Amino acid sequence: MSLPGPLSGRLRDLGLGVRFAVSGGREGWTRTLLTAIGVGIGVLVLLGAASVPTFLHKGNAREHARMLGMGSSGEHVHRSDHSFLYVDVSSQYRSDQVSGYLLRPDGAHPALPPGVDKVPGPGEMVVSPALRKLLASPEGRLLKERYDYRVVGTVHDAGLTSPFDLYLYAGSSTIDTAHGAHRADRYGAYLRPQPLNPVLVVMVVLACVVLLVPVAVFIATAVRFGGERRDRRLAALRLVGADARMTRRTAAGEALFGTLLGVALGGVFFLGARQILAHVQIWGLQGFPADVTPMPALAALILLAVPLSAVAVTLFALRSVTIEPLGVVRSSRPRPRRLWWRLPVPAAGVALLLTAEPVDAVDVLGLVHIAAGVLLSLLGLVLVLPWLVEAAVRRLRGGPVPWQLAVRRLQLHSGGASRAVAGISIAVAGGIALQMFTVGIDADFRKTTGADPKRAQFGALASYPSGALAQRMVDDFGATKGVKKVIGTVESWARPQRAKADPRGATTVSFTVGSCGSLRELAHLSSCENGDAFRVTESHDAQQDGRLQKLARPGTRLAVDDGRDLYGGTAKPVLWTLPKDVPTVASRRAPDGTYFGGILATPGAIDPSRLHNATTSAEIQVDESVPDVYDLVRNTAFRIEPGMRTWNFRDVQRDQQYTSIRSGVFTASALTLTLIAAAMLVSQIEQLRERRRLLSVLVAYGTRRSTLAWSVLWQTALPVVLALALAVAGGLGLGRLMLGMAHKPVTDWGLWLPLAGVGLASVATVTLLSLPPLYRWMRPDGLRTE
């Protein structure tokens, strides 16, 4: 069956274009390959972006599948053949998180953790490959002291979040529910997804637009590589009878082939790049290569949209070119670019952003509204940039030869230069806006804890209540190398004996036991001896102070540590009378930033080992000059009680979602900028390649190589400086609008400096890297025609 005439003719024209793309020997292939590499880099970024949802989902799914005790409704797990006891033994080692559980099976067939073939026996452990490597290395010496079990197996990928996951399951014959262990009969937890703060949603949308628009712009640039030569070929086609439409279709076919090759190459780049994840951590990005899989719908969209856009861009580019049989009529003086049709695009973007809903009340439609506003504003920069470059270089005159060569070239062909730097300008503008927005909303996601790291830098909390444990904590931590001071306390509660038990705490006051030295860190004590007790007010909590006033008057008989004050607890109170002469003292900010309010007692007044429901904690001051002091303390904590929680005090705490998104955005920004710089290099090399004959001729005339190198530098630097100026102005404006939507003022107008610096550095690097090919093409070989 033959195709209808017009259709077969069109296909023939497209086919001819494809033949042009692959024929022409090394020259033709080089051109096609450069286009393919450019498109491939763009496709790599797009596929990476399309993989983010899968990447996050798969990582979270494996994380949740191995969790124990999270998301349970508090139901009691009965002892069975599958059940087991567990204690969470996760801890930090230097800057890395090591996670895992101590396990004690109840029966012969305990549930298996994901990625584990057999539950380890007492004194044994199975570890992730990364942890095995760390433990076997000199760097893992201190960690080996902590997890001193015999390695008998490996946790496979199914039970890990990434190849760098430090994870373990160790066997125990001693853990029990009385000492902090819990019972479970399966692994996995359902965590209700935490709804994302609307402001963060806007930040993510802004980031997506900002990071992907430069990529799209670059793809559009890459498909125009070799445009001048292509137009000459098309002129030759016209000479043998092709009409204007046929030549356009041929050009489309040529662009299509290069782009399809680029899409294939992008796929190969993508497959290669994701393998990197197996070997290196890129700015904290962790996962398995297989997790980086694009969402099918998005992948299909990329595979379809990129080639179609390539054809559209080619046809759009040919719009301003008249290809006549005897040559291309673009060489004539080009028409000046008009601003009137370019300005409405950013203006529409600004109008959309000005009319957008406040970000804290934004819905899906509102998000589209904001995204469209940001998109149009940034695309507006791309449209205004060629006009700006042309208008600026038109006024330049004179100067030395390199300057003149550069300026004249820009005056004649500023479009190519503008396109080359458009990606950088959007990335910088978007980066500035994003940075301003992030810094502007930072205060909302940052909490000053009030912690005083000068008094204590480290906290430890036992996983089960024991008054006796407090003393051991004080003693053992105190004996640890590098520890200067330990504040150990046993924390419980007290209720007037006659008052009714209330699990909501309405009838109780806090009751803490500790040595005089420890209690002095919680309240202003003028004198203290073992056997003393104190009423502490001014806790910055009016309710707490009120309860103390009402419930704990001097001489009151108190029920301390009564289990009935807990949900499901049983009565085991310690009866104790508040001395009639008990002094009332003012609270003092504790090293962790909190204020205590309630009753403080020394061990001489009440024996803490009788308080079975109490919590035992320690706040530790260390000498940070001692190497690995924190890990020495963590090792002590593990020896005292494997399930003991330890943490560092921070004076500022950040919202976890915010922190994750912020670091994700910066990682993606850095990757995009790196890829844009790589793409610019390809673009620069392509431009030089097109002019290599002219370069050879100029060298034949005796032109110094440095003259040409300087001219290339000026030729790149001029549009870049203009692009960065536009990007800074646009970025600051966009950032101001975004912050306006969040009702936040601009806190730092100087944020553009580092990003503009990065942009300039990228361009300088690109220019430097393009010098070797420039020098090669300045060789007289270019004069050879045979």
Partner 1 sequence: MTPAGSLLSATDLRKSYGSTPALDGASFSVHPGEIVAVMGPSGSGKSTLLHCLAGIVAPDAGTITYDGRDLTSLTDAERSALRRGEFGFVFQFGQLVPELTCVENVALPLRLNGVKRKDAERRARARLEQLEVDDVAGKRPGEVSGGQGQRVAVARSLVTDPRVLFADEPTGALDSLNGERVMELLTDAAREARAAVVLVTHEARVAAWSDREVVVRDGRSRDMEFTR
Would you say 664 and 282 are in contact if contact means Cβ atoms under 8 Å apart? no
Q: CA 559, 562, 563 angle in degrees (round to 5)?
A: 170
Work out how close the CB of 774 gets to partner 1 at its nearest, in angstroms, rounded to a whole number: 15
- Looking at the Cβ atoms of 87 and 699, the one nearer to partner 1 is 699
Work out how close the CB of 758 gets to partner 1 at its nearest, in angstroms, rounded to a whole number: 31
- What is the dihedral sign for C-alpha 154, 157, 158, 160? positive
Copy the structure tokens of residue 271.
Answer: 């497959």
- Sort strands 166-171 and 327-328 into parallel, antiparallel or unpaired: unpaired
- Which SS3 state, helix, strand or coil, does residue 605 take? coil
- Looking at the Cβ atoms of 243 and 781, the one nearer to partner 1 is 781
Which segments of 74-217 are extended strands (E)?
84-88, 91-93, 96-105, 124-127, 150-154, 166-171, 182-184
Write the single-letter amino acid at 456: A
The DSSP element (H or E) to which 378 belongs, if any, is helix 364-394
The DSSP element (H or E) to which 358 belongs, if any, is none
Work out how close the CB of 411 gets to partner 1 at its nearest, in angstroms, rounded to a whole number: 7
Work out how close the CB of 42 gets to partner 1 at its nearest, in angstroms, rounded to a whole number: 29
Work out how close the CB of 710 gets to partner 1 at its nearest, in angstroms, rounded to a whole number: 12
Copy the structure tokens of residue 175.
Answer: 């853990």
- Looking at the Cβ atoms of 75 and 786, the one nearer to partner 1 is 786
Work out how close the CB of 412 gets to partner 1 at its nearest, in angstroms, rounded to a whole number: 4
Other beta carbons less than 10 A from residue 141's beta carbon: 12
Distance CA 622, CA 482 (A): 6
Copy the structure tokens of residue 483.
Answer: 């520890």
Would you say 443 and 618 are in contact if contact means Cβ atoms under 8 Å apart? no
Exposure string (b/e) for 587-624, b if CB count within 10 Å is 16 or more? bbbbbbbbbbbbbbbbbebbebbbbebbbbbbbbbbee
- Looking at the Cβ atoms of 246 and 699, the one nearer to partner 1 is 699
DSSP assignment of 3-56 equals PPHHHHHHHHHHHHHHHHHH-SHHHHHHHHHHHHHHHHHHHHHHHHHHHHHHHH
Q: CA 521, 524, 528 angle in degrees (round to 5)?
A: 85
- Looking at the Cβ atoms of 410 and 640, the one nearer to partner 1 is 410
Work out how close the CB of 398 gets to partner 1 at its nearest, in angstroms, rounded to a whole number: 7
Work out how close the CB of 332 gets to partner 1 at its nearest, in angstroms, rounded to a whole number: 6
- Looking at the Cβ atoms of 81 and 781, the one nearer to partner 1 is 781
- Looking at the Cβ atoms of 355 and 706, the one nearer to partner 1 is 706
Would you say 52 and 165 are in contact if contact means Cβ atoms under 8 Å apart? no
Work out how close the CB of 404 gets to partner 1 at its nearest, in angstroms, rounded to a whole number: 7
Work out how close the CB of 232 gets to partner 1 at its nearest, in angstroms, rounded to a whole number: 12
Copy the structure tokens of residue 128.
Answer: 């992730």
- Which SS3 state, helix, strand or coil, does residue 458 take? strand
Phi and psi at 181, nearest 5°, equal: -85, 150
Copy the structure tokens of residue 500.
Answer: 């009714």
Work out how close the CB of 693 gets to partner 1 at its nearest, in angstroms, rounded to a whole number: 4
Work out how close the CB of 706 gets to partner 1 at its nearest, in angstroms, rounded to a whole number: 10
End-to-end CA, the chain: 45
The DSSP element (H or E) to which 462 belongs, if any, is none
Distance CA 299, CA 46 (A): 9
Distance CA 702, CA 563 (A): 96
SS (H, E, C) 326-351: CEECCCCCCCCCCCCCCCHHHHHHHH
- Looking at the Cβ atoms of 502 and 781, the one nearer to partner 1 is 781
Work out how close the CB of 33 gets to partner 1 at its nearest, in angstroms, rounded to a whole number: 22
Work out how close the CB of 703 gets to partner 1 at its nearest, in angstroms, rounded to a whole number: 6
- Looking at the Cβ atoms of 255 and 405, the one nearer to partner 1 is 405
What's the chain's Rg over C-alpha atoms?
A: 35
Phi and psi at 226, nearest 5°, equal: 70, 20
DSSP assignment of 183-218 equals EESS-----PPPPPPHHHHHHHHHHHHHHHHHHHHH
Write the single-letter amino acid at 2: S
Q: What's the distance, CA 328 to chain centroid?
A: 49
Residue among 191, 407, 216, 399 at smallest CA distance from 310: 216
- Looking at the Cβ atoms of 109 and 779, the one nearer to partner 1 is 779
- Looking at the Cβ atoms of 413 and 612, the one nearer to partner 1 is 413
- Looking at the Cβ atoms of 492 and 696, the one nearer to partner 1 is 696
- Looking at the Cβ atoms of 333 and 395, the one nearer to partner 1 is 333
* Residue 28 CA: distances (Å) to CA of 25, 321, 346, 473: 5, 21, 38, 76
Copy the structure tokens of residue 43.
Answer: 């496709």
Work out how close the CB of 696 gets to partner 1 at its nearest, in angstroms, rounded to a whole number: 8
- Looking at the Cβ atoms of 176 and 781, the one nearer to partner 1 is 781
Residue with tokens 């006659």: 498
Work out how close the CB of 314 gets to partner 1 at its nearest, in angstroms, rounded to a whole number: 22
Binding interface with partner 1 (CB under 8 A)? 331-333, 398, 401, 404-405, 408-409, 411-413, 693-694, 697-704, 707, 780-781, 783-786
Check residue 589 and report its DSSP letter.
B
- Looking at the Cβ atoms of 245 and 394, the one nearer to partner 1 is 394
Q: CA 361, 364, 369 angle in degrees (round to 5)?
A: 85
Work out how close the CB of 27 gets to partner 1 at its nearest, in angstroms, rounded to a whole number: 14
Distance CA 666, CA 675 (A): 14
Work out how close the CB of 687 gets to partner 1 at its nearest, in angstroms, rounded to a whole number: 13
- Looking at the Cβ atoms of 1 and 326, the one nearer to partner 1 is 326
